Amino acid sequence: MVKASYAALIEGEVYVPGLSSEYVAQKYGIPLDQIAKLGSAENPHGPSPKALAAVVEAAGRIDLYPDWTAKRLREAIGQKYGFDPDNVVCGSGETEVISMVIRAFARPDEPVLMHDPCFPLYRIYSNCEGRRPVFSPTGKDFDPMIDRYIETMKQVHPKIAFITNPHNPSGRMVTKEDVIRVCEAASADTLVALDEAYVHYTENEFGMKLLPNYPNLIVLRTLSKAFGLAGLRVGFGIAANSKLILPLRQIKPTWNMGQLQIAGGIAGIDDEEHVRRAVKTVVAMRAYVAERLSSVAGFRMVPGSRANFFLLEILSPELDSTKVFNELLKRGVIVKDGSDIPGLGSRYLRVDVNLQKHMDRFVSALAEIRVA
Ligand SMILES: Cc1ncc(COP(=O)(O)O)c(C=O)c1O
């Protein structure tokens, strides 16, 4: 018998997602409805009702192949933001668009610039595809230090420069002026990829308006967050320069958007009411949890988040993030352990902003750890 021997083609970092409520409920014997799920930055009010109705209606068509370019969805997205469908490419979540951007715009071994820390998938996909991630540091309380970023950009001439606005994991925002400075400093063969996954929660959306001025700018968006459709998997890239979109369409998996994603995406993208509701809750609860945390000793909320999550710094030297993470889990509170986010580390946890009952559960559980 011939023995097979497989060498791993790809080694290294694997993405660590937030835990599911079902897993924690089963492991700790906690009723599902008493779990505060604060590790995946999901919508506090669930799915867009309009998207949900459209998905149910479209379920009868799943025997048919979808349009391979998701044209109707591209039309809906283009119409919303004032562009042609040819200026839009859709992905099974924004993460798929990120992976396509890395493959289409950087060759093997070419540099891809990102902040440290950053959304791990920029780095993971770059490494998996043999592209070379290059990092620009963040400063005190994760200040994006755009002067430094531009300096690094000029030194390494990246093929792609990712800017996350607001930043994940800190929630810090890059100003419009600074995004413009990055676009203007980028050479003609650097693609600026502005990731606006959480932009609604900043109440200051400007990326789309910059597009017509910058032929090397692409804005990346998702319906997973403010639209409440993380489980549907709909994301997109949009650029005023359709030459940026064409290669993405060429390399994308052919039928990457199914009938349900297309139908739910078309209905969801127009559900402004749902977005407004989520933003209102997140803005109010961000202030609420900041206030509540100010009286819990041993921890500090890192200031400046404009997203639906924030970083919690652990001040007590006898605690680290994994210990706090596990203690919170036992109390039915799921957050993200900073040790699982390279560049962040064991003094931090990332915590979602969600409904008041979940924020209260989180703060109470944290206060118990302090005295334990
Ligand atoms: C910064 C950032 N970009 C993109 C995404 C991808 O979202 P999705 O693939 O669900 O559309 C996420 C998800 O966590 C994110 O944090």
User: What is the full DSSP assignment across 127-152?
Assistant: HHTT-EEEEEE--GGG---HHHHHHH
In short, whether 230's Cβ falls inside 6 Å of ligand 1 is: yes
Ramachandran region of residue 233, left (φ > 0), alpha (ψ -120 to 50) or beta? Answer: left
How far, in Å, is the centroid of ligand 1 from the Cα of 297?
Answer: 32
Does the pLDDT at position 72 exceed 80?
yes
Q: Is 95 in the pocket of ligand 1 (CB under 6 A)?
A: yes
* Per-residue pLDDT band at 12 (split at 50, 70, 90): confident
Q: In which band, very low, low, confident or very high, does the pLDDT at 93 lie, cut at 50, 70 and 90? A: very high
* Mean pLDDT value across the chain: 95
Choose which residue among 95, 225, 238, 340 to substitute to test ligand 1 binding: the one with the highest number of ligand atoms within 8 A of its C-beta: 95
* pLDDT above 60: residue 30: yes
On the question of pLDDT at 372 being above 60, the answer is: no
Which protein residue has the closest C-alpha to ligand 1 atom 7?
94
Regarding the beta carbon of 270 and ligand 1, being less than 6 Å apart is answered: no
- Mean pLDDT (whole number) for 201-218: 97
β 235-238/217-222 pair status: antiparallel
Q: Nearest residue CA, atom 2 of ligand 1?
A: 197
> What pLDDT score was predicted for residue 6?
59
Locate the domains of the chain by residue range.
Answer: 21-47+273-371, 49-269
- For residue 220, which of 212, 211, 228, 229 has the smallest C-alpha distance? 211
Q: Give the CATH fold of the 21-47+273-371 domain.
A: Aspartate Aminotransferase, domain 1 (3.90.1150)
Q: Is 87 in the pocket of ligand 1 (CB under 6 A)?
A: no
Atom number, ligand 1, closest to the C-alpha of residue 94: 11
Distance between CA 95 and CA 190 in Å, rounded? Answer: 20
> Residue 1: its pLDDT value, please?
61
* E strand spans, the chain: 36-37, 88-91, 111-116, 132-137, 160-164, 191-195, 217-222, 235-238, 299-301, 309-314, 333-334, 336-337, 348-352
Q: Which two tokens stand for residue 365?
A: 């559980």
Whole-number Å distance, alpha carbon 197 to ligand 1 midpoint, is 6
The CATH class that applies to domain 49-269 reads alpha beta
Q: Is the pLDDT of residue 4 over 70?
A: no
For 228, phi and psi rounded to 5 degrees? 75, 35
- Atom 12 of ligand 1: nearest residue by CA position: 197
Distance 298 CA to ligand 1 centre (A): 31
**Residue 147 pLDDT > 90:** yes
